[in-house]
Amino acid sequence: MKKILAIVLALVMMLSFAACSSAETVKFAVSDLEGNVVYEFEVELTENATAGVLLEEGLKANGIDYEQIDSTMIQRIGELEQDSVNWTVWWSVYVNGEYGQVGLWEQPVAANDFIEIKLENTF
């Protein structure tokens, strides 16, 4: 009886570890004007989270300094910054390779989404 109990307990522990390691995530990449990925990280998906909320979590978790404008727009990520005066350089958002149609804090996300935040310009 003890052997059966030990086997069942071992199976339960293995399944628990497997569940922990298979957490659903969203991947982020932040690129400079030349298209070089400067920051890259994954964030565990949480219920009803938006891309903006998960971006903030990922930046904080990875010790990446950032600055927002009115809590709905990114001004600066690390050393990368948009030009919010002349708007010659700005952040663009791509979701799974497609240009984002809503702001980061409105953008819903799903498991395995890839969110790219890229500095772009008019030139």
pLDDT band of 30, cuts 50, 70, 90 = very high
Per-residue pLDDT reduced to its tens digit, 41-52 = 999 999 989 999
Per-residue pLDDT reduced to its tens digit, 64-101 = 999 998 878 899 999 999 998 888 999 999 999 999 99
CATH code at 24-121: 2.170.130.30
The model's pTM is 0.78
**Better-predicted residue by pLDDT, 10 or 18:** 10
Per-residue confidence (pLDDT) for residue 7, from 0 to 100: 63
Per-residue confidence (pLDDT) for residue 18, from 0 to 100: 47
Measured CA to CA in angstroms, residue 30 lies from 41, 51, 80, 118 at distances of 9, 13, 9, 6
- Residue closest to 45 by CA, chosen among 118, 116, 113, 103: 113
Residue 123 per-residue DSSP state: -
Strand-by-strand arrangement of the 80-81 sheet: 66-69, 73-77, 80-81
